[in-house]
Amino acid sequence: MQPGEMIPTRHAYGEELVALGGDLPNLVVLEADISKSTQTYRFARAFPERFFQMGVAEANMMLVAAGLATTGKIPFVSTYAVFGTMRACEQVRTFIAHTHLNVKIACSHGGVTPGNDGVTHQATEDLGIMRTIPGMTVIMPADYHATRRLVRAAAYYSGPVYLRFTRDPVPVIYTDADEFVIGKGKVVQAGEDVSLVAIGDFVAVALEARTLLAQRGLSAEVLDIHTLKPLDRDLIVASARKTRRVVTLEDHQIQGGLGSAVAEVLGEECPTPMRRIGLRDTFAESGEYRLLLRKYGMDAEATVAAVMELMK
């Protein structure tokens, strides 16, 4: 995949699972009856003896994954983000995280990307929920290459991990040569006037906003914080000290997610004027994804407006 091409990150997840299946004979996949949507059907075809179709029973699926982890397996558990983090929250917290089991919870359809499926399928609180669970690592890759690298890293990472993917296609930003380390963000583009700190598919939104800001004579630094927890505090503080202004971007409620995490860091280490792009204590309605971003002030134009407020 080349920069500029469009592909959902869930497709990269499905492809990397198959590659990992050949490398790790103890890797197993559990699915909640939506393998075409989550792309785990690819693993099912390649390794049917290591694929478990659990049906629409997410809480039980997490318990089975916990049991498999105690036997030395590496379970990847897949469903929609809204179900994996809410319907099964108690099981994730008490039976996976509390015992620090090596379970990877890999969920698709994060944020408002389910679009027309509406609020029942839009996970806009999941990052905040998972971030507050002790010992849980939380990751959302920005594009195809980041997804493949970070899924592989998660498979070799000890302990519970939450991975969040998109339903809709997102632009390819990186190349196959780019490296990713869990807990270490990336400077996608350097800048001097403002730091655009983004997670997941909103890295592309930040890059679009950067182009618009350049037309106004402003230089924006774009950070990809693919790991929400553990957060790369050093990178965020260094960027904030350089630009003196911060805008966070996420497909999530502004409470509890990236915006909150960055505000906590800056409040403790480097007080900086900032704005947060995301849902503002509201549920999104049904609709086409890009139109929803515009309606709720989560697109590149809204980001530019937030930056201009900080420039006053």
The confidence score (pLDDT) of residue 4 equals: 92
The confidence score (pLDDT) of residue 16 equals: 99
Annotated active-site residue 264? The verdict is no
The confidence score (pLDDT) of residue 249 equals: 99
Encode pLDDT of 131-147 as tens digits: 999 999 999 999 999 99
Question: Of all residues in the chain, what percent carry a pLDDT higher than 90?
Answer: 100
The closest of 202, 143, 135 to 171, measured between CA atoms, is: 143
State the catalytic residue, choosing from 16, 31, 58, 221: 58
Fold of 186-311: Rossmann fold (3.40.50)
Encode pLDDT of 221-262 as tens digits: 999 999 999 999 999 999 999 999 999 999 999 999 999 999
What b/e readout covers 156-175, taking b as 16+ CB neighbours within 10 angstroms? Answer: ebeebbbbbbbbbbbbbbbe
Q: Same topology for domains 6-171 and 186-311, yes or no?
A: yes
Residue 33's alpha-carbon distances to 51, 109, 110, 215, 281, in angstroms, are 12, 15, 17, 47, 31
Sheet holding 246-253, edge to edge: 186-189, 220-224, 194-198, 246-253, 274-279
Sequence ranges of the domains in the chain: 6-171, 186-311
The closest of 177, 222, 175 to 203, measured between CA atoms, is: 222
Encode pLDDT of 259-296 as tens digits: 999 999 999 999 999 999 999 999 999 999 999 999 99
Residue 10 has pLDDT above 90, yes or no: yes
The confidence score (pLDDT) of residue 1 equals: 87
- Name residues whose C-beta falls within 8 Å of residue 35's C-beta, 6 or more positions apart in sequence: 41, 44, 53, 78
Encode pLDDT of 194-220 as tens digits: 999 999 999 999 999 999 999 999 999
Helix locations, the chain, DSSP H: 9-23, 35-38, 41-46, 58-70, 81-82, 89-91, 126-131, 144-155, 202-214, 233-243, 258-269, 289-295, 300-311
What homologous superfamily does CATH list for 6-171? Thiamin diphosphate (ThDP)-binding fold, Pyr/PP domains (3.40.50.970)
Encode pLDDT of 70-110 as tens digits: 999 999 999 999 999 999 999 999 999 999 999 999 999 99
3-state secondary structure of 128: helix
Q: How confident is the prediction for the chain on average, in pLDDT?
A: 98
